[in-house]
Amino acid sequence: MNNAYFVAGTDTDVGKTVCSCAILYAAQQTNITMVGYKPIASGSENTPQGLRNSDALLLQQASSVSVTYDDVNPYTFYRPVSPHIAAKEEHKTIEFDLLSQGLTKLKTQADCVLIEGAGGWRVPINNTEYLSSWVKQEQLAVILVVGIKLGCLNHALLTAEAILADGLTVVGWIANQIHPVTDNYTAMITWLEQHLPGKKIAEIPYIPMNKPDKEITTHQQLAQYIDLSLLSER
């Protein structure tokens, strides 16, 4: 197993956080110390402790080791918009050096760091750079989350091709059922198994997330669907 993985999505709202938390809890069950890292998060709430993003908080809770919120999420933005828009509105500059420093620190505290991306693979952080540029700089292995819905085959293949074109490796992918009923589900999974690089490390069934107080328990239950051993079979 690598000491860091980047979780990319085929789009926004495909379940990157759900899958990342499931991986983190699966690691706990196999005695692997793993910590979540959400370098950039948009869509946060003001709290007495400052801006807090719900996805980053879930990653912090699911981590095997105790880390501060700022360690998990160095860039927190208020509005749920693309990072380059949010950063401009808040007069901030997203610096790759700060992202790398945070990753290096977390690597000293756990066997593995699980880094959750923002949006899709080519999400911009300014007018000329993308978050994927930093992933390429760090040469991170990628786990791809595919939200299973109409159009996902195209999105998944284009995303995988972009990752490979950046010189990176898709070490595994997760099929996440984001709707209660999905027409041709089995046929789509079969196609993805035949065409995507990397191994399918999980199929996550549809589970409604309408009760925030139940999210942690749900993510713990979803860990049963994750096969971390496949990440070692390179």
**Helix (H) or strand (E) segment spanning residue 85:** helix 83-89
Structural tokens at position 166: 């950046």
The confidence band for 162, taking pLDDT boundaries of 50, 70 and 90, is very high
Q: Is the pLDDT of residue 234 over 80?
A: no
Contact (CB, 8 A) for 175 and 19: no
Q: Once rounded to an integer, what is the mean pLDDT over residues 125-151?
A: 97
pLDDT confidence of residue 143: 98
State the angle between helix axes of 215-222 and 54-62 in degrees (0 to 180), rounded to the nearest 10.
50
C-alpha–C-alpha distance, residues 106 and 109, integer Å: 5
Beta strands in the chain (DSSP E): 4-9, 34-37, 40-42, 45-47, 50-52, 75-77, 112-120, 141-148, 170-177, 199-204
Encode pLDDT of 9-18 as tens digits: 999 999 999 9
Catalytic residue among 38, 92, 107, 199: 38
Average pLDDT, the chain: 95
Task: Walk me through the domains of the chain, giving residue ranges and CATH numbers.
Answer: 4-231 (3.40.50.300)
Residue with tokens 């923002």: 118
Encode pLDDT of 87-99 as tens digits: 999 999 999 999 9
185 labelled as ligand-binding?
A: no
141 labelled as ligand-binding?
A: no
pLDDT confidence of residue 232: 76
CA angle at 104 for the pair 99 and 107, rounded to the nearest 5° = 125
Q: Is the pLDDT of residue 63 over 70?
A: yes
Q: Is the pLDDT of residue 70 over 90?
A: yes
Encode pLDDT of 200-212 as tens digits: 999 999 987 655 5
The confidence band for 80, taking pLDDT boundaries of 50, 70 and 90, is very high
116 labelled as ligand-binding?
A: yes
Q: Is the pLDDT of residue 124 over 60?
A: yes
C-alpha–C-alpha distance, residues 143 and 172, integer Å: 5
pLDDT confidence of residue 217: 80
17 labelled as ligand-binding?
A: yes
Q: Once rounded to an integer, what is the mean pLDDT over residues 120-134?
A: 97
Q: Once rounded to an integer, what is the mean pLDDT over residues 171-200?
A: 97
The question of whether 38 is a catalytic residue gets the answer yes
Q: Is the pLDDT of residue 65 over 90?
A: yes
190 labelled as ligand-binding?
A: no
